[in-house]
Amino acid sequence: MKIAVGSDHRGFEAKQQIKAIAAELGHECIDVGTINSNPVDYPDPAYLAATAVSKKQADRAILVCATGIGMCIAANKVHKVRAALCHDELSAQISRDHNDANVLCLSGDQIGEVLLRKMVEVWLNTEFSGGRHERRVKKIKAIEEGKDPSGIKTANV
């Protein structure tokens, strides 16, 4: 799988760790920046990574800033992106299993190396389960298209 990986200066060290973890798991990383710990605005790498996912140049993306909040907000502005801010293994797993998240946003300041590894591994290894969750993702897509999701008819699963 191709994974776009980006960070601001506060997430730079975590991004380097994520690239190593993803490579160990056999994934190809596309590093969209930043290249060091000099200050940079988080919307820039968020846009590049999210756009790579939207345009199918990457299968998924992982973004890191100080809290993960800014990256998540910025990434979710890109069409076809479902970015999830996760803080533990369970939220990372459910973001994929239930929500088909295609961008993982993490805190570079609040997650240690061990938890970071576990979260990245579970997120990259979890597939979308579909089923009853599929209709909810379809409703999210309807909102993205400016439609009222309550008008979307889906099969009850």
Kindly list the catalytic residues.
65, 98
Give the separation between CA 77 and CA 94, rounded to whole angstroms: 21
DSSP string, 63-93: EEESSSHHHHHHHTTSTT--EEE--SHHHHH
Residue type, 1: M
Q: Which residues contact 93 (CB under 8 A, 6 or more apart)?
A: 122, 123, 126
